[in-house]
Structure 1
Amino acid sequence: MSSTIAEVKRLKLNLTESEPPSSDHTSIPSSVPDAKETKIHPSNAGDENASLFFIGTATTILEWEGIRILTDPNFLHAGDHVHLGPGVQGTRQTNPAIDLHELPRIDAILLSHYHADHFDQEVEAKLRRSLPIITTPHAHSCLTSKGDDSFTEVTALDHFESLILDFSNRITGGKKPSIKVTGMPGKHVPPGPLSIANNILGAVPPINGWMIELGYADSTNFESGYRIYISGDTLMVDELKEIPERYKDLKIDLMLIHLGGTTIPGPKMPLLMVTMDAVQGVQLMQLINPDLTIPIHYDDYDVFLSPLEDFKKKVEEAGLSDKVVYLDRKDQYKFKVKR
């Protein structure tokens, strides 16, 4: 579907092989590592020209037309710890599919929120300061207020604000491959007194989901060829109901859903759930009605109390098994972006 982009922010990027993503790169791999297993649409496969590589937690690499987008970079290993708020610590249970120094060229990062299991201490220390990052207003403030160590190419998007990523050295038939990113609503803390207290204390940061549209653009119009909704670390809250209203009659091809039933302060004292469990995950599938869903963010830290098996069971009970593809770390999903 074509849309006018005159009023949408635009960020012009040049694809270059010369700049490594992080300071610990001695050389830049030319491509994403070979996948352990490649999966395709269960009923509508053919002519795949894009891929999603699952690294772990909410970290993925989206690749299309030579463009690579990295989501929520977390490259810690089993046994490493992250600080998640006052008195709250998480311990990683798994290893990522690849290490930070094994990343190929990355053109931009989508950061759903400023939490260490999505932007860990190693990433923060080593990531190239000029790498473009699209994130929340809160994370923008954090990343750009580090003095000489600040990140320099950070763009903030609030809920339902959009940005067009123009890749000026990729021209195809008069139109260039472009990616439209729109901030989606979500809440990490359930509404009520706890949410009010969190707003005052700032213990748990605000989050974005994302609507990512892969397509082609000229100076005035953007033509979407594939639409991906990433839930971010949200709970099933009323604000999400606006998404199917805004995208009514528009196909959402893929949903990446953050699950795990994350609890704080931790597994020994699960007082508060701050990401979707299996039940809420199925509810979101029914609300958004994507063509296909891939669960991520489900077992990498010890604060996750709703394992993937719970989600699989609820999906089967809801009769939605043919609408889900499951990826393990180092698996990839291939799909087709229409022209």
Structure 2
Amino acid sequence: MNSINIDCRQQKPPIRTEPPTKALAESLPKATQSHDHPAKPNNNTNASLFFVGTATTILEWEGFRLMTDPNFLHAGDHVHLGPGVTGTRQTNPAVNLEDLPHIDAVLLSHYHADHFDEKVEESLRRDLPIITTPHAKDHLANKGGDSFTNVQALDFWDSLRVNFTTSKQSTDSNLKPQIQITGMPGTHVPPGPLAVANDLLGAVPPTNGWIVELGYTSPSSSDSSSSVDSDKGYRIYISGDTLMFDDIHRIPEKYSSHTGKPIDLMLIHLGGTTIPSPKVPILMVTMDAKQGIEMMRLIGADVTIPIHYDDYDVFLSPLSDFKKAVSEAGLDKKVVYLDRGEEYRFEVKK
């Protein structure tokens, strides 16, 4: 298993500013509302997930910040989503790109402008660690003299260990925090002739989901194959922009309460994204409410948070559809709804 080492004490700005135009923010904006487990409130939370908007979230734990799918465009801005297909942003992010505090790494599900917009691509500092798909790495690491220099590619089921040093020390000096990230199956295009055509044309990029495992290990541990225990740590599944397809069913074969690796939190990309537009819905490329419920039942996560559902004008299935389906399925106690600027707090057990 490959690994990367990150020193969180080097508080670099996430964007390249030479010389710096203003002081680096020390923290994210105060969340407009904090949520915890919908059925089991916990006073011992030590980690949080801040919802910026669309698929952009920021995970904070033990002084480490991991940002997913950075998109910081504003209402009225446009993105290119494929040949002849554009999307217009309908909302504003909860924080502006230039106002971000230090970010330690980026987790990018795929190279699509509503997940990695042109402003982000131009502005992010070039040595910022980015974990992504092989396709996205080909684009980001091969930009000539302006390439990103620390891009790590994970294909389906490949894993990467993140070892990090932080000025914030665990209360137990015999433990050190560690993150393991594993690529999960995902597809933007349903299997069949359209998928074959897309492979030839490269119209819609390949996409990953992720398993992010947070846990503590002994500083003297040399077992590179160790993973988060079922009764310790915390396991997050991020669906990415996928549809339901056969390979998704392999996930609970490896990660579930039956295997001793239960999923604590699922971030599910919804919206029923359609191209070329909801008015001409020729092809759906992300899950709608019906598939979202199917995914919830398949994965069996303790808590699900829907994201990626209303920030652009390409969504056919609004969040209200999912809320209705959740209630009809009797799953209300399994879902937390975050608005932009809100956070979910949870505990990574030791």
**Do they superpose with TM above 0.5?**
yes
Q: Where does structure 2 lack aligned partners over 5 or more consecutive residues?
A: none
Alignment partner, residue 41 of structure 2: 45
CA shift, 1:270, in A, is 1.1
Larger CA deviation: 23-32 vs 303-312: 23-32
Aligned-partner Cα distance in 1 for 2:83–2:10: 40
Alignment partner, residue 75 of structure 1: 72
Alignment partner, residue 24 of structure 2: 28
The answer to which structure has the higher strand fraction is 1
Superposed, which structure 2 residues align to 1:47-62 within 5 Å? 47-62=44-59
C-alpha distance 114-81 of structure 1, shift in aligned 2 (>3 A): same
1:16 counterpart = 2:9? yes
Q: Secondary structure at the match of 1:177?
A: strand
CA shift, 1:35, in A, is 0.5
CA RMSD after TM alignment: 1.2
Aligned-partner Cα distance in 2 for 1:41–1:256: 14
The 8 Å contact of residues 138 and 206 in structure 1, kept in 2 or not, is answered as yes
Superposed, which structure 2 residues align to 1:1-339 within 5 Å? 8-24=1-17, 26-46=22-42, 47-169=44-166, 172=170, 173-217=173-217, 218-220=221-223, 221-224=226-229, 225-247=233-255, 248-339=259-350
Report the count of equivalent residues: 332
The 8 Å contact of residues 51 and 64 in structure 1, kept in 2 or not, is answered as yes
Alignment deviations for residues 226-252 of structure 1 (CA, whole Å, 9 cap, x no partner): 000000000011110000001233211
The 8 Å contact of residues 85 and 204 in structure 1, kept in 2 or not, is answered as yes
Q: Where does structure 1 lack aligned partners over 5 or more consecutive residues?
A: 1-7
The 8 Å contact of residues 21 and 104 in structure 1, kept in 2 or not, is answered as yes
CA shift, 1:17, in A, is 4.4
The structure 1 segments of at least 4 consecutive aligned residues displaced by more than 6 Å after TM superposition are none
Q: Secondary structure at the match of 2:337?
A: coil
The 8 Å contact of residues 258 and 275 in structure 1, kept in 2 or not, is answered as yes
The 8 Å contact of residues 258 and 276 in structure 1, kept in 2 or not, is answered as yes
Q: Secondary structure at the match of 1:123?
A: helix
Aligned-partner Cα distance in 1 for 2:34–2:228: 28
CA shift, 1:223, in A, is 3.8
The 8 Å contact of residues 264 and 271 in structure 1, kept in 2 or not, is answered as yes
Aligned-partner Cα distance in 2 for 1:317–1:182: 33
Alignment partner, residue 4 of structure 1: none
CA shift, 1:65, in A, is 0.5
TM-score w.r.t. structure 1 length? 0.96
Aligned-partner Cα distance in 1 for 2:227–2:331: 32
The 8 Å contact of residues 63 and 166 in structure 2, kept in 1 or not, is answered as no
Alignment deviations for residues 6-52 of structure 1 (CA, whole Å, 9 cap, x no partner): xx211111113431000256221111110111111022222010000
The 8 Å contact of residues 45 and 335 in structure 1, kept in 2 or not, is answered as no
The 8 Å contact of residues 187 and 235 in structure 1, kept in 2 or not, is answered as yes
Aligned-partner Cα distance in 1 for 2:85–2:145: 29
Q: Secondary structure at the match of 2:272?
A: strand
The 8 Å contact of residues 252 and 298 in structure 2, kept in 1 or not, is answered as yes
Aligned-partner Cα distance in 2 for 1:223–1:292: 18
Aligned-partner Cα distance in 2 for 1:176–1:206: 34
Aligned-partner Cα distance in 2 for 1:95–1:40: 24
Alignment deviations for residues 48-93 of structure 1 (CA, whole Å, 9 cap, x no partner): 1000000000000000001100000000000000000111100000
Larger CA deviation: 292-301 vs 212-221: 212-221
CA shift, 1:169, in A, is 4.4
Aligned-partner Cα distance in 2 for 1:96–1:251: 32
Aligned-partner Cα distance in 2 for 1:169–1:316: 42
The percentage of counterpart residues that share the same residue type is: 63
